[in-house]
Amino acid sequence: MKKLLGLALGILSAIGGFVDIGDIVANGTIGARYGLSLVWVLVIGVVGICVFAEMSGRIAAVAGRPVYDLIRERMGPRIALVNLGASFLVTLLTLTAQIGGIALVIELASGIPHVVWIVPIGLGLWWVVWRVKFEKMEQAFGLSGLAILVFGVAVWWLDPDWAALGTQLVSVAPPAGEPLPTYLFYGVTLFAAAMTPYEVFFFSSGGVEEGWDRGMLRMQRVNVLVGFPLGGILSVGIAAAAAAALMPTGMDVETLGEVVLPVAMALGLAGVAVALFGFFAATVGAALETGLSCGYMLGQYFGWTWGKRLPPVKATRFHVAVAACLLAGVLVVQTGLDPIMITEVSLVFSAVALPLTYLPVLIVANDGDYLGDQVNGKLSNVLGSVILVVVLVAASSAVPLMVITGMGA
Amino acid sequence: MGTRASVDTGCSPRRGAWPSLTVACGVMLALVLLLSGCQSWALSSGSELDQAGRTVYSQVQVMALVTDTALRHDRPATVSLEVMLDDAESELTDQESAIAQIPPDEPRRAEILAITRVAVAELSGLRGALDAGDRAALREVRGALRAASARLTAAGVS
């Protein structure tokens, strides 16, 4: 019974924890502009994150070491440094975007400008990293993120043209009059939002923090293979709500408030309260994950003692690194840069960094010295290789598409 | 080993040719993307006036949806809706300044600028009606916003 409860909690946390500010912005923007005609990209992204999260979870459970630690050992310090540089900067940018996202959510709830909230948010995040236990943090924010399901309820209440939504869902082309490169640009950002690099580092490092072993392989697999796809449905809910309420007006989504507008239309104050609670939990959860991931990457590369479970006195450099990253994120958002713009840029650069994150995972997952009889099977390798090709295409086209479409204008 | 080395079908490139082929394919892909991208930009971005007009159109739609929401619900999440209106106001004010800088001989400039000013003027009325829960005033604002939206569409902006 206890095991079953743990499994259910793990799945629910994975569902709620799947969404972050990148998913929220990307799905809101895309839903209003293209309806559900980019859901196929999200499906590929969810398959990709499932495949690679399963690999990294297996590595953590069997080798007892996180992925990044093994990447450095297996690929050598120089190549690992390239990996560290790219992944770390993108994760720091993603952390900055989450901090801005939290501030925007609080602004929508309070009416007080978001810049006022940034320092308290930084302090709050730092306190949680320091004082709240890892499992509690994961479960609290993951479970609360489930509130985003309110977007699905809003879609049902808005009673849109279901046939039109169905047609968009099976479409793999831009709607009439929409230029292909802009459609592809948004496809790349949606893919990057689903496969954000920090997820793999956090997942495997979290596995080591929680002491996963071979006996927990099945549980972590179920968490990933059930939790992440269901989390993807939360993202589709946001896109569907925008498709139902905003797309018919021809407007563009440029603020977080506009993403929430369909819920406000359908369910009024109660709906908005639930949606903002869900966004708050999702962005705070993601900020904690990205902040910790920055510390994990640095700690594992430089061989520090690391871990959220360890008190600051025992893992001083790790805790200082996490605090410094939070401070950096706070300072960037405090300059007044638009958090939505930071999010969009972070998605583009996430796309660029994807191969540097996922190729080494595939290599380590095939290394019998680390994984013994748990090396990748044929299915994992075929899926991993196919996703890697998609990752390479997304990475190589992200910046050119950003430039030539004027950031999806 | 020797057999493998001696096989030459004539159509498979030499080992050294692969990098060149890859580079050539990459350049071609980049060119295709660049060309279609330029076309995309021309299609999607349009002139400065078009871009400003589209932003104004988008903000008018946001205001209309906020008005609908306020009319639909007794408790319409007033604080959040007001934040949305603050964002709309900031965006409309920026666009008003941008359009004002466009040379006056540009066709449609005067019309789009006039509609933008109407939208800015409606904002304060909408805020007051939202705060007071005044349905009659909200309906009036909705009518004005519908008219502004129709004028923008007639001016070739949507």
Q: What is the pLDDT of residues A353-398, one digit of tens each?
A: 999 889 999 999 999 999 999 999 999 999 999 999 999 999 999 9
pLDDT at A9: 63
Which residue from A228, A294, A300 is spatially nearest to A45, judged by alpha carbons?
A: A228
Whether the pLDDT of residue A111 is over 50: the answer is yes
pLDDT at B15: 46
The DSSP string of A266-308 is HHHHHHHHHHHHHHHHHHHHHHHHHHHHHHHHHHHHHT----S
- If residue A142 lies in a helix (H) or strand (E), which one and from where to where? helix A134-145
Minimal Cα–Cα distance from B107 to chain A, Å? 23
What's the rounded mean pLDDT across residues A345-356? 92
- If residue B63 lies in a helix (H) or strand (E), which one and from where to where? helix B48-72
Contact list, B158 vs chain A (CB under 8 Å): 250
- If residue A214 lies in a helix (H) or strand (E), which one and from where to where? none
Q: Under an 8 A CB cutoff, do A264 and B81 touch? A: yes
A346-367: b (≥16 Cβ within 10 Å) or e: bbbbbbbbbbbbbbbbbebbeb
Query: B22 touching A, CB under 8 A?
Result: no
Q: How far apart are CA A123 and CA A402, in angstroms?
A: 34
pLDDT at A2: 65
Q: Under an 8 A CB cutoff, do B66 and A397 touch? A: no
Query: What percentage of chain A reaches a pLDDT higher than 70?
Result: 97
Give the chain B residue nearest A112 (alpha carbons): B83
Contact list, B75 vs chain A (CB under 8 Å): 268-270
Both tokens of B117, joined, read 């000013």
Cβ-nearest to A249 among B45, B61, B81: B61
Mean pLDDT across chain A, nearest whole number? 92
Q: Under an 8 A CB cutoff, do B43 and A179 touch? A: yes
Tell me the C-alpha to C-alpha distance, in Å, between residue A275 and each of A109, A146, A154, A344, B12: 10, 10, 10, 21, 58
Q: How many CB atoms lie within 10 A of CB A218?
A: 11
Cβ-nearest to A404 among B33, B58, B66: B33
Q: Is the Cβ–Cβ distance between B78 and A111 less than 8 Å?
A: no
Give the chain B residue nearest A178 (alpha carbons): B44
Cβ-nearest to A261 among B34, B43, B84: B84
Phi, psi of B53 (to 5 degrees): -60, -40
Instruction: Return the CA Rg of chain B.
Output: 27
What's the rounded mean pLDDT across residues A39-50? 95
pLDDT tens digit string along A275-298? 999 999 999 999 999 999 999 999
pLDDT tens digit string along A57-75? 999 999 988 888 888 888 8
What's the rounded mean pLDDT across residues A96-110? 97
Query: B79 touching A, CB under 8 A?
Result: yes
Q: How far apart are CA A248 and CA B56, in angstroms?
A: 17
Q: Under an 8 A CB cutoff, do B41 and A246 touch? A: no
Q: Is the Cβ–Cβ distance between A263 and B80 less than 8 Å?
A: no
Q: Is the Cβ–Cβ distance between A63 and A212 less than 8 Å?
A: no
pLDDT at A216: 87
pLDDT at A280: 96
Residue numbers of A between 262 and 281 with CB closer than 8 Å to B:
264-265, 268-273, 276
**Mutation choice for A interface testing from B54, B69, B80, B91 by most A CBs within 10 A:** B80
Both tokens of A327, joined, read 């401070």
Query: A246 touching B, CB under 8 A?
Result: yes
Contact list, A249 vs chain B (CB under 8 Å): 61, 64-65
What's the rounded mean pLDDT across residues A321-350? 95
Minimal Cα–Cα distance from A245 to chain B, Å? 9
Query: B47 touching A, CB under 8 A?
Result: no
Low-confidence residues of chain B: pLDDT under 70 = 1-45
The residue type at A320: V
Which residue from A32, A115, A75 is spatially nearest to A359, judged by alpha carbons?
A: A75
Lowest mean pLDDT among A83-92, A141-150, B20-29, B106-115: B20-29
Q: Under an 8 A CB cutoff, do A268 and B76 touch? A: yes
Cβ-nearest to A258 among B36, B84, B158: B84
Q: Taking CA A11 as the corner, what is the angle to CA A361 and CA A357, rounded to the nearest 5 degrees?
A: 15
pLDDT at A210: 85
Which residue from A56, A60, A22, A59 is spatially nearest to A42, judged by alpha carbons?
A: A22
Orientation of helix B48-72 relative to helix B135-154, angle to 10°: 150
pLDDT at A271: 97
**Mutation choice for A interface testing from B39, B62, B85 by most A CBs within 10 A:** B62
Q: Under an 8 A CB cutoff, do B84 and A255 touch? A: yes
Residue numbers of A between 109 and 148 with CB closer than 8 Å to B:
109-111
CA atoms within 13 A on the CB side of A179: 22
Per the listing, tokens 């690099």 go with A197
What's the rounded mean pLDDT across residues A39-55? 95
pLDDT at B6: 36
Which pTM value belongs to this model? 0.88
pLDDT at B10: 36
Count Cβ–Cβ pairs < 8 Å, chain A vs chain B.
112
Query: A245 touching B, CB under 8 A?
Result: yes
pLDDT tens digit string along A178-221? 899 999 999 999 999 999 888 888 888 988 888 888 988 988 88
If one compares A258 and B26, the residue with the highest pLDDT of the two is A258
Query: B65 touching A, CB under 8 A?
Result: yes
pLDDT at B8: 37
User: Residue length, chain A?
Assistant: 409
Q: Is the Cβ–Cβ distance between A7 and A223 less than 8 Å?
A: yes
Contact list, A255 vs chain B (CB under 8 Å): 84, 87
